[in-house]
DNA sequence: GTGGATGAG
DNA sequence: CGCTCATCCAC
């Protein structure tokens, strides 16, 4: 297997690093880079973080119950622990342990069962002894808290990009805020010296030495320092590496670390959640860096530390290599670490695993071009499922469960519509499994009524229930129906003008949008990516950005509707748009006129502007969607909303028989 | 549209 | 390797 040489490196002094596999780690940064209005995946100053919550479910319960965070606490789901907080971990308690074992290790352990829907109850509650036979798990609390954290991140970093990666994780693109901070702290970076021979292409002067003491663990360049169990303090690493040259990217990482630390502190102070974070040059590395040390810390992965960090890493720890694909690669080459795989050339890999192995090839070399993108719609689908330890044996027992599933979906849908009015699921689906039989499912268009009620959804679900169990099984009970698994889902959730009308019942003529698509925005635009770009532009003071784009709002002279300090009424849709409740709560605690009050006022005004811009953008996007063709049609705009930011190679070989290459690990069960 | 598979946690 | 949830793809 020959090593395929990489294409000749563009800019950058690859001499700085001995390993040719990592040849892009110290690119030359010029004034032109400082001035580019956007910072994409290839920009040398890109800075990305992954922030994730520590033992999130347990933390949520601790906050909900208002108990001491030092109390060992676990979250129980039926017979199994699904979350263990850090105090409890000290007792050797793990996820998936049984509660009885956990209590043996720690008798004072606080055991909290997740909320459940009980039969007939309109909402999930915390019951003394929930019954697996009649109750259904609810994860709503965690979803709601997750949204709070996500919202706070966005508010605290209006010029950044925040992508919710899972219920307890978010990617944050710090590139723009970092660049803005760099320009503020080092104003000489804005323009090349007048006598610079190459103008904007002149490299930046050497960076200052910047301390990162107190900003987290600096992942050491020397891999032999990596796995030491003892804490490697930042001071220690700095001492060891004091002669390592710093780069402007390192400075950027450290600025991001400051911002990240502030945001994490704020989340902790306001919401009570502890987090950890990784800061690096792309998503995948930030995620790995975050897992370096996990509890209430953040880790900074400098480019120079990437080879040492990555090579000893078991590659199956990498996102999307944790499953079958990772196993297949491990089996094929009988190796386990990233370093082991570096000797595999691109051609070799592509021959074995298909063309899209380029993705894996690059990941192994610390390259990840995927963008941090805010998801336009929270989710594309919602699903409520229940395993039935006591199977349904009579047709008539079905609706009882259907009602419970419908209740959950109804609450979740209506909750989502609070923040995003106009959300509309295209289809309602019901899946049912009987014993060993294959899963059966039916779906139907979801008629979006003005108000979705539990009754309505239950009725709709019952129609599907009839179709499923009524068709293949003689369901009157005599044939011994045995449904062991039920799941009700809303899919194709998207945001439409129609849905908006449906909910609000307002059919007023949309006024002409005050905004038009800027001719400056290149490429195909969806309502949402246009929205994001415009917002960026209007809120950041980026050099080179057309100032005419900036849109200001004046609360007193308000063309949009009436305003109070905490909310305003939009004249277009007549909705009241409010700041999060905590603003009011906080205001009540602060003495008017105090210094704190002034700070608070500033924050409130910023937030107010944000919700205003956001709401206006919402109408803007709505109009755009309207213009491009609306509602149900799979218009190009709608299409692109639905495209996920998936890292996967997404190779669709149309082979009739065996999919080729990597694709098969994403698609089908491998054949023997 | 239906049914299956994968993956994360 | 229990349970829940989300997403994607082939047919």
Confidence of residue A279 (pLDDT cuts 50, 70, 90): very high
Please state whether strand B lies within 7 Å of residue A436 at its CB atom. no
Any idea which nucleotide's C1' is nearest the CA of A441? B2
Strands A298-300 and A440-445: unpaired
What average pLDDT score do residues A446-469 get? 87
Q: Separation of CA A460 and C1' B4 in angstroms?
A: 25
Cβ burial, residue A85 (10 Å; 0-12/13-18/19+): buried
* DSSP annotation string for A169-216: EEEEE-HHHHHHHHHHH-GGGSS--TT-TTGGGSBPPPPPP---TTS-
Q: State which residue has its Cα closest to the C1' atom of B6.
A: A666
Among 1.20.140.10, 3.40.50.300, 3.30.460.80, 3.30.1490.100, what is the CATH number of A381-496? 3.30.1490.100
> Nearest CA to the C1' of B1 belongs to which residue?
A443
- For the A312-375 domain, the top CATH level (class) is mainly alpha
The CATH fold of domain A32-310: Alpha-Beta Plaits (3.30.70)
Average pLDDT over residues A469-487: 69
Distance A490 CA to C5 C1' (A): 13
User: What pLDDT score was predicted for residue A47?
Assistant: 97
> Measured in angstroms, what separates residue A442's CA from nucleotide B2's C1'?
7
C-alpha atoms less than 13 angstroms from C-alpha of A534 in its C-beta half-sphere: 22
* Chain segment A340-365, per-residue pLDDT in tens: 999 988 888 888 787 778 888 999 99
What are the boundaries of each domain within chain A?
Answer: 32-310, 312-375, 381-496
The reply to whether A439 Cβ lies less than 7 angstroms from strand B is yes
Strand B: which of residues 255-314 in chain A lie with Cβ below 7 A? none
Residue nearest to nucleotide B8 (CA to C1'): A166
Place of tokens 């205001």: A587
Residue whose CA lies closest to nucleotide B2 C1': A441
Q: For the whole model, what pTM was predicted?
A: 0.73
Order of strands, sheet of A80-84, starting from the edge strand that comes earlier in the sequence: A80-84, A73-77, A110-113
pLDDT tens digits, A569-618: 555 554 556 676 666 666 776 777 776 777 677 667 766 766 666 666 55
Cα gap A273→A167, rounded to integer Å? 13
Q: How many CA atoms lie within 13 A of A40 on its CB side?
A: 4
A440 touches strand B (CB under 7 A): yes
Å from A75 (CA) to C2 (C1')?
A: 15
Q: Which residues contact A239 (CB under 8 A, 6 or more apart)?
A: none
Closest nucleotide to A167's CA, by C1' atom?
B9
A536, A287, A568, A576: which is closest to A418 by C-alpha? A576
Kindly tell me if the per-residue pLDDT of A642 is higher than 70. no
Query: How many angstroms separate the CA of A653 from the C1' of C4?
Result: 31
Rg of chain A over CA atoms, in angstroms? 27
A441 CA to B1 C1' in angstroms comes to 10
Q: Which residue, A294, A314, A334, A392, is CA-closest to A54?
A: A294
DSSP helix, strand, coil percent of chain A (3-state; round to 5) = 40, 15, 45
């Amino acid at each position: 297997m020959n090593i395929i040489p990489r294409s000749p490196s563009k800019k950058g002094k690859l001499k700085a690093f001995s390993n040719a596999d990592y040849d892009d780690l110290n690119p030359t940064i010029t004034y032109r880079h400082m001035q580019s209005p956007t910072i994409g995946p290839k920009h040398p100053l890109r800075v990305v973080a992954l922030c994730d919550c520590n033992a999130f479910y347990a933390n949520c319960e601790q906050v909900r119950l208002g108990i001491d965070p030092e109390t060992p606490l676990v979250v129980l789901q039926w017979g199994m622990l699904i979350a263990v907080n850090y105090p409890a971990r000290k007792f050797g308690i793990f996820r998936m342990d049984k509660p009885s074992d956990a209590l043996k290790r720690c008798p004072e352990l606080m055991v909290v069962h997740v909320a459940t829907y009980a039969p007939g109850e309109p909402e999930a509650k915390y019951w003394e002894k929930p019954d697996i036979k009649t109750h259904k798990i609810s994860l709503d609390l965690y979803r709601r808290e997750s949204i709070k954290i996500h919202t706070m991140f966005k508010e605290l970093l209006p010029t950044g990009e925040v992508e919710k990666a899972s219920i307890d994780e978010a990617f944050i693109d710090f590139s723009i805020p970092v660049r803005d901070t760099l320009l503020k702290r080092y104003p000489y970076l804005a323009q090349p010296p007048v006598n610079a021979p190459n103008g904007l292409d002149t490299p930046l002067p050497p960076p200052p030495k910047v301390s990162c003491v107190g900003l987290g663990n600096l992942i050491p360049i020397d891999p032999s320092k990596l796995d030491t169990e003892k804490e490697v303090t930042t001071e220690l690493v700095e001492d060891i590496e004091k002669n390592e040259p710093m780069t402007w990217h390192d400075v950027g990482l450290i600025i991001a670390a400051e911002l990240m630390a502030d945001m994490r502190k704020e989340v902790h102070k306001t919401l009570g959640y502890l987090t950890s974070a990784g800061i690096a040059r792309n998503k995948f590395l930030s995620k790995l860096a975050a897992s370096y040390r996990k509890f209430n810390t953040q880790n900074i992965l400098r480019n120079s530390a990437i080879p040492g960090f990555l090579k000893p890493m078991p590659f199956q720890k990498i996102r999307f290599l944790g499953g079958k694909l990772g196993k297949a690669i491990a089996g094929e080459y009988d190796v386990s670490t990233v370093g082991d795989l570096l000797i595999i050339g691109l051609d070799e890999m592509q021959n074995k695993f298909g063309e899209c192995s380029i993705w894996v090839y690059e990941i192994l070399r610390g390259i990840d071009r995927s963008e941090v993108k805010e998801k336009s719609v929270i989710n594309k689908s919602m699903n409520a499922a229940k395993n039935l330890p006591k199977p349904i044996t009579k047709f008539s027992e079905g609706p009882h469960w259907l009602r419970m599933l419908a209740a959950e979906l109804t609450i979740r849908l209506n909750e989502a519509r609070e923040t995003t009015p106009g959300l509309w699921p295209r289809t309602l689906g019901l899946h049912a499994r009987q014993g060993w039989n294959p899963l059966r499912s039916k779906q139907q268009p979801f008629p979006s009524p003005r108000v979705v009620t539990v009754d309505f959804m239950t009725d709709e679900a019952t129609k599907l229930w009839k179709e499923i169990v009524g068709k293949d099984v003689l369901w009157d009970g005599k044939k011994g129906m045995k449904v062991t698994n039920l799941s009700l889902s809303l899919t194709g959730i998207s945001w439409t003008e129609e849905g908006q009308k449906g909910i609000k019942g307002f059919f007023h003529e949309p006024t002409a949008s005050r905004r038009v698509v800027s001719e400056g925005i290149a490429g195909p635009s969806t309502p949402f990516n246009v929205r994001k770009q415009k917002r960026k532009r209007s809120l950041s003071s980026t050099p080179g950005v057309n100032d005419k784009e900036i849109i200001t709002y004046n609360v007193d002279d308000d063309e949009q509707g009436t305003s109070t300090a905490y909310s305003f009424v939009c004249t277009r849709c007549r909705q009241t748009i409010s700041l999060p409740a905590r603003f009011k709560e906080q205001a009540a605690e602060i003495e008017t006129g105090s210094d704190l009050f002034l700070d608070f006022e500033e924050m409130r005004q910023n937030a107010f502007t944000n919700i205003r811009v956001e709401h206006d953008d919402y109408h803007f996007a709505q109009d755009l969607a309207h213009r491009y063709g609306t509602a149900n049609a799979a218009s190009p705009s709608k299409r692109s909303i639905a495209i996920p930011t998936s890292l996967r190679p997404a190779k669709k070989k149309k082979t009739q028989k065996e999919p080729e290459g990597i694709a098969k690990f994403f698609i089908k069960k491998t054949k023997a």
